[in-house]
Amino acid sequence: MFFPGAPSEALLGTVAGDPSMAPAEWTSQHWDDAVTENPAVGATEVWEFYNATGDAHPMHIHEVVFEVVDRQAILVDEDARTVMVEPGSSPTPAEPWESGFKDMVIAYPGQVTRVKMNFAQPGQFVWHCHIVEHEDNEMMRPYRIGPPQPGEPS
């Protein structure tokens, strides 16, 4: 997941490739773009929030609780639309106040924030920045746990 652009114009999206090995291209996604996150029911995943903006973003994921794993410095090339974990940097563990299960985490500027969660309940939900102005300006994305369910929006 990636946050390109200025805070008022921030979008969520995806990163193609492995940013820990080489620069990886990001793709911005809008609210009405197809679902890009689709964990299986019962799956445990680590999600990465790459924040290339100048603001911290309180990221909230509906329907799950998660553990904050760590954070690490990133390098961003806005012209090439790539992001990369800073070579030689080491992950820093979650802050003491971030221990235990959470439903919101601060994604700090210039860092990748990693969270680990289990997806137990099938259905279609959302993940988003908890700053209202950002939610209202496309910094919200749908995700699906398991296969499509009857009545879900397409």
CB contact at 8 A, 41 and 119: yes
- What pLDDT is recorded for position 53? 84
38-85 pLDDT tens trace: 999 999 999 999 998 888 999 999 999 999 999 999 999 988 888 999
Using CA atoms of 59, 145, 148, 150 in order, give the dihedral in degrees to the nearest 10.
-90
- What pLDDT is recorded for position 36? 93
Residue 114's closest CA among 72, 75, 64? 72
Q: What's the CATH superfamily of 2-145?
A: Cupredoxins -  blue copper proteins (2.60.40.420)
4-14 pLDDT tens trace: 554 445 778 88
For residue 29, give the amino acid letter.
Q
Domain-wise residue ranges, the chain: 2-145
102-138 pLDDT tens trace: 999 999 999 999 999 999 999 999 999 998 887 777 8
